[in-house]
Amino acid sequence: MDFSGKIALITGAASGMGAATAREFTSAGGKVIIVDINPETAEKVAAEIGSQPPLIGDVSDSSFCQHAVDSVLKQHGRLDVLVNCAGTIARADALGTSDEAWRRVMAVNVNGVFYMSRAAIVPMKKQAKGAIINFGSIWGERGASGVVAYCASKGAVHQITKAMALDHVKDGIRINAVCPGEVNTPMLASERLTPPTPKDLQKLAEETVPLGRLAEPIEIARVVLFLASDAASYMTGSLVTVDAGYTAG
């Protein structure tokens, strides 16, 4: 896939699947603008891929999302691809989920996707072309115990993806979501009382994933690139599961 001359704005691109996606877009010739809340890691990834300085801010703030898109347009004159990868998790059931934790997960995972997409649609509509790829999750469809806020937020992302895809299909904008299973990222180990060891993660994979291993971030990033490319020109409103067969059973 060739993204030469294409401008991609990627949120949550300082680590994990977002960083892998930024690397893959750059390798395919695209120009990437990183958005993240963590300046140190964002600057490190930006330097690694030879990107411009990252845009540092919180995607739950609608004014920041508008600023990010405006900054891209001011510097590059267009926006071809938006990848909404920024996300957070709270590992608790309903009784263990505080109001603050609930609001934060919804603010980042749901509001952030909506605000950034809403801002990006304006220039994409003028261009009569654009691609938005949201990060959903297998837990947005199936649910899981101990992560009620995360499951609810990803279910909302799936519906945002479908509804906005239908709203803007005539505008030349394709909107899809990638829905990963278990991926070897910092989030997989975050918010746990005891961080899992590599042996713990391997046991998790063997017990839950038919393929018997965790996905690596690059394996998800490659699906994102496909959805952003013209090779996926007949796809919009799709939820693409990448889970090594977990939800097939």
Annotated active-site residue in 115, 150, 234, 246: 150
- How far is 191 from 187, CA to CA, in rounded Å? 8
**For residues 199 and 85, what is the distance between their CA atoms, to the nearest angstrom?**
27
Give yes or no for a contact between 223 and 23, defined as CB atoms under 8 angstroms apart.
Answer: no
- Assess whether 150 carries a catalytic annotation: yes
> Which residue has 């938005």 as its token pair?
132
Residues 6+ apart with CB under 8 A from 140: 151, 153, 154, 155, 156, 157, 158, 179, 239
Q: What angle do CA 119, 120, 122 make, to 5 degrees?
A: 80
Element (DSSP H or E) covering residue 81: strand 81-84
Tokens of 202: 């391997």
Contact 152, 249 (CB under 8 A): no
d(CA 22, CA 135): 14
**H/E element, 16:** helix 16-27
> Cβ contacts of residue 91 below 8 Å, gap of 6+?
146, 147, 191, 192
Strands 31-36 vs 130-135: parallel, antiparallel or unpaired: unpaired
Residue 18 corresponds to which tokens in the numbers above? 């977002």
Tell me the residue type at 117: S
Active-site amino acid positions: 150
